[in-house]
């Protein structure tokens, strides 16, 4: 998966150089690099890389703002955020914006290879270190036991940002059947039906879905 095109952005020059040097040494395809959010977004629009590895806080535009603009403008670059912040609010916001990767800066070099390789396969990567820190999985793990195998398959595809139409095609079932499954899953997990809560839940638990 190392042929995937990647851009990086961080407003700390030494951290950016360290990340780039590491990725280049590991033979990843770095096609561009920036030091501000504006530069990062311009690189995404110009180069349309497969993956963008961004610091969550940068001048002019944050990593979250870049992700929001990409989503609004239909850009398909998979966003990976590297952050010093451990607030659950930021973590949840990242999931709502369909961000593919979320890792802590202190563990970035340790986790970035696994993150890129996972994201390259269309699977989200939310660092276990931060989910453990925020305790986001503990309360919900038991809920997995009430889901059927079919519901788990659908949740896994939802975590990969697949639409109902795409899920129906992949599983050879009707669109209406997918909608019914989604409704049942939301009810079983006691989620809010008119929010992105199902997507957030699916991404948080994607590694446990079979």
- Indicate the domain borders of the chain: 5-130, 141-208
Please give the distance of CA 171 from its chain centroid, rounded to a whole number.
Answer: 23
Structurally, at CATH architecture level, domain 141-208 sits in: Orthogonal Bundle (1.10)
5-130 and 141-208: identical CATH topology = no
Rounded to the nearest 10 degrees, the angle between the axes of helix 197-204 and helix 175-189 is 80
| pLDDT at res. 5 | 93
- Which residues face 8 on adjacent strands? 33, 53
User: CA dist 152 to 93, 144, 159, 182, Å?
Assistant: 23, 8, 10, 10
For the question of whether the overall pTM of this predicted structure is more than 0.85, the answer is no
Q: 146-182: per-residue pLDDT in tens?
A: 788 888 889 889 888 889 999 999 999 999 999 999 9
| pLDDT at res. 99 | 83
CATH of domain 5-130: 3.40.50.2300
| pLDDT at res. 191 | 80
- 3-state SS class at 154: helix
Q: 33-77: per-residue pLDDT in tens?
A: 999 999 999 999 999 999 999 988 899 998 889 998 988 888 889
- Angle (CA) 190 126 106, round 5°: 135
């Amino acid at each position: 998966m190392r042929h995937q095109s990647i851009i990086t952005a961080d407003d700390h020059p030494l951290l950016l150089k360290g990340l780039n040097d590491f990725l280049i040494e590991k033979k990843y395809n770095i096609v561009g690099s920036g030091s501000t959010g504006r530069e990062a977004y311009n690189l995404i629009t110009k180069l349309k890389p497969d993956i963008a590895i961004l610091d969550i806080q940068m001048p002019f535009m944050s990593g979250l703002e870049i992700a929001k603009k990409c989503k609004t403008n239909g850009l398909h670059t998979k966003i990976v955020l590297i952050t010093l912040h451990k607030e659950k609010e930021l973590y949840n916001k990242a999931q709502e914006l369909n961000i593919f990767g979320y890792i802590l800066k202190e563990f970035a070099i340790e986790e970035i290879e696994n993150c890129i390789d996972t994201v390259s396969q269309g699977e989200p990567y939310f660092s276990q270190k931060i989910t453990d820190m925020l305790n986001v999985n503990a309360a919900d793990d038991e809920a997995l036991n009430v889901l059927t195998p079919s519901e788990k398959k659908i949740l896994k595809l939802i975590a990969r940002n697949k639409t109902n139409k795409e899920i129906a095609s992949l599983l050879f079932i009707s669109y209406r059947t997918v909608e019914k499954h989604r409704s049942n899953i939301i009810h079983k997990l006691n989620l809010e039906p008119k929010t992105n809560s199902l997507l957030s839940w699916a991404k948080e638990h994607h590694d446990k879905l079979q």
